[in-house]
Amino acid sequence: MVKPSGARYLMGSAMPKECDTSPLLVTTSWDDGHPADLRVADLLAKHEASGTFYIPNMNAEGRPVMQRTEIRRLGEHQFRHVEIGGHTRDHVSLTELAPDAAAQQLISNKQWLEDLLGREVIGFAYVRGHHNRTVRRLVRDAGFRYARTVTNLSDAAGPDCYQIPTTMQFFPHTDNIYIRNYLSGGHSLRRLALLRAVLGKRGLQDRLYRAAELCLRRGGCFHIWGHPWELNEYDLWDELDRLLAHLRHLHAQFVTNGAFWTHASAPATPELVP
């Protein structure tokens, strides 16, 4: 299996001649359970890509959430690489709640999704990325096996399955937002290199391409996350279509967030070359 730590991996598919690294491991994740999730899933299927969708029961902020039939349809999507994860019952920040109330948000959401889908739900995404030690413990105790944050500028899954970072949000942020995210996410030379790769670039597409190609060159992974409702509001659908096509051109290997963590935490196998 792929281990996104820089180890080389033997695969049959050829890489672009200019690349002399392991295949780029790509995972995408999408928050809030908006009806536009289904359009994202169709676009992922077009490019044989994978996606993890984090869904609340409802959204206390008033934004629409898919109906039960739509969630089942997403879970049964014709493209098999779709994963569904939890996102609290009411789409609320768990750090703002008492522990008992936060636990109920987690347990209710997990049970509701599992009853709806007829299978275990193992992943969770923190609403607005808010978490602390208590919240992480509650997520674990609720039965989730991993949790995704909104920390950007990472090309690895990280050492903690309840603090999985991302590479970039699929949103046209300004340079100042990337700098703030870098400072809040912890200093490292690898994160700094990604920050430098995206600063000053013209538009979201150029930033994404530069980040993906840097991740590829140094044997890392590329994790895009976003909100499908923002794709509607900011008319970003064509940009997502082009990004997925570009990643296919790079011979990316797509996995869900759950498989991403499994790959990242798996011990080396004989297929891995030092």
What are the domain boundaries of the chain? 23-269
Q: What pLDDT is stored for residue 270 in this prediction? A: 34
Q: Would you state the structure tokens that stand for residue 248, as one six-digit string?
A: 């296919």
Which three-class secondary structure state does DSSP give residue 208?
Answer: helix
Other beta carbons less than 10 A from residue 231's beta carbon: 22
Full pLDDT tens readout for the chain, 274 residues:
333 333 322 222 333 444 445 789 999 999 999 999 999 999 999 999 999 999 999 999 999 999 999 999 999 865 568 999 999 999 999 999 999 999 999 999 999 999 999 999 999 999 999 999 999 999 999 999 999 999 999 999 999 999 999 999 999 999 999 999 999 999 999 999 999 999 998 899 999 999 999 999 999 999 999 999 999 999 999 999 999 999 999 999 999 999 998 876 655 433 332 2
CATH 3.20.20.370, domain 23-269, yes or no: yes
Cα R_g (the chain), whole angstroms: 18
Whole-prediction pTM? 0.89
